[in-house]
């Protein structure tokens, strides 16, 4: 039955503005993808990632500067607590306790400290079975190899996190200006560290983002990455406070 010109107009007209804004005009499958394809990260790190989480299939590089390992563990933390399996290849120092502070579950965390000269075959095998794979390449990475592993990551729906430089990473992060708080000239102990994290990348991540956070914040789990307090007061140590009985306990 013919609905007349008026009806046809509303039926074929432009999509209402509020639907476009909410992203509501998508296929049902795409909506489901959006939920499933994003792995969570701790609150303070969301602003660094264009989608507010780690997109499955993405490659993220973290520069090997001070704070890099902590940032990698912090990126794994929320997803690992949520049940994802994580693996780490090429990192001989076993920082599992440190990782556990950020919420990484040791039971679901596999380590290949020495993947050998053909480390990429090991990383490729890990991408088949693990949701998040941390890799530290042994030496510079050619763009061809990087593309091949990125394709593997995309196809498997995993997230490849690289400690070091990675040509063509979807998101590239770098930590700078670390300032430790809590100790001074023999007193106190390391408590927390203020750190600036910058992120750039390709596509949606091209706009540089930056945030200054406490990493580690001295707490564990979701609170391990905390916002900087407004005034950022230095932790003052009372005069004559014994160093030894402060930390040992």
Partner 1 sequence: MDPVRTLVVWCPDWPVTAAVRDADGELPEHLPIAVLDAGTVYACSEPARAEGVRRGQRRRDAQAACPELVVVPYDPVRDVRVFDPVVDAVADVAAGVEVLRPGVCATAARGPAGHVGGEAAAAERIVDRIAESCAVEAQVGVADGMFGAVLAARAGVLVEPGRTPAFLAGLDVRVLGRPELVGLLRRLGIRTLGAFAALPPGDVLARFGFDAALAHRLAGGLDERLLAPRSLPPDLTVSAEYDPPVERVDTAAFTARTLAEELHELLLRHATGCTRLTITAVTGHAEELTRTWRHDGVLGPAEVADRVRWQLEGWLTGARRPTAGIQTLRLVPEGLVAHAGFQRRLWGDTGEDADRAHRSMTRVQGLLGPEQVFTAVPSGGRTEGDRIRPVPWGDERIPTLPVDAPWPGHLPVPVPVPVAAAAPPVHAVVRAADGAAVGVTGRHEITAPPATVATGTAAPVEVVRWAGPWPVEERWWSAGESRRLARIQVVLADTRTLLLALEAGHWRVEATYD
Task: Note the residues at the interface with partner 1 (CB under 8 A).
Answer: 65-70, 83-85, 87, 92-98, 100-101, 106-116, 121-122, 125-126, 128-131, 178, 180, 182-193, 216, 218-220, 243-244, 247-249
Q: What is the smallest separation between the CB atom of 208 and partner 1, expressed in angstroms?
A: 22
User: Given the complex with partner 1, which of 167 and 198 has the nearer CB atom?
Assistant: 198
DSSP state of 229: P
**What are residue 247's phi and psi, to 5 degrees?**
-95, -25
Sign of CA dihedral 155, 160, 164, 170: positive
* CB contact at 8 A, 153 and 120: no
Q: What is the smallest separation between the CB atom of 82 and partner 1, expressed in angstroms?
A: 11
User: Given the complex with partner 1, which of 3 and 155 has the nearer CB atom?
Assistant: 155
User: Given the complex with partner 1, which of 168 and 178 has the nearer CB atom?
Assistant: 178
CA distance between the termini of the chain? 82
Q: What is the smallest separation between the CB atom of 8 and partner 1, expressed in angstroms?
A: 41
User: Given the complex with partner 1, which of 77 and 131 has the nearer CB atom?
Assistant: 131
Q: What is the smallest separation between the CB atom of 147 and partner 1, expressed in angstroms?
A: 22
- Measure Cα distances from 204 to 55, 178, 188 in Å: 12, 28, 43
Peptide bond into 216 cis (omega under 30): yes
């Amino acid at each position: 039955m013919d609905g007349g010109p008026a009806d046809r107009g509303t039926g074929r007209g432009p999509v209402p503005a509020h639907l476009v804004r909410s992203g509501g005009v998508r296929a049902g499958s795409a909506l489901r993808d959006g939920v499933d394809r994003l792995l969570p990260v701790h609150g303070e790190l969301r602003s660094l990632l264009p989608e507010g989480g780690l997109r499955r299939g993405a490659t993220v590089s973290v520069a090997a500067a001070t704070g890099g390992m902590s940032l990698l563990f912090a990126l794994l933390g929320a997803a690992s607590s949520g049940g994802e399996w994580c693996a780490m290849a090429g990192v001989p120092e076993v920082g599992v306790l440190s990782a556990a502070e950020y919420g990484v579950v040791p039971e679901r965390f596999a380590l290949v400290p020495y993947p050998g000269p053909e480390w990429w075959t090991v990383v490729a095998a890990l991408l088949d079975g693990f949701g998040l794979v941390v890799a530290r390449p042994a030496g510079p990475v050619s763009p061809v190899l990087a593309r091949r592993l990125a394709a593997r990551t995309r196809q498997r729906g995993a997230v490849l996190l690289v400690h070091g430089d990675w040509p063509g990473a979807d998101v590239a992060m770098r930590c700078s200006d670390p300032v430790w708080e809590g100790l001074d000239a023999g007193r106190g102990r390391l408590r927390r560290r203020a750190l600036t994290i910058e992120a750039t990348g390709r596509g949606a991540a091209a706009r540089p983002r930056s945030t200054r956070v406490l990493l580690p914040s001295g707490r564990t789990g979701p609170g391990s990455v905390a916002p900087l307090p407004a005034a950022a007061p230095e932790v003052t140590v009372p005069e004559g406070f014994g160093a030894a009985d402060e930390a040992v306990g």
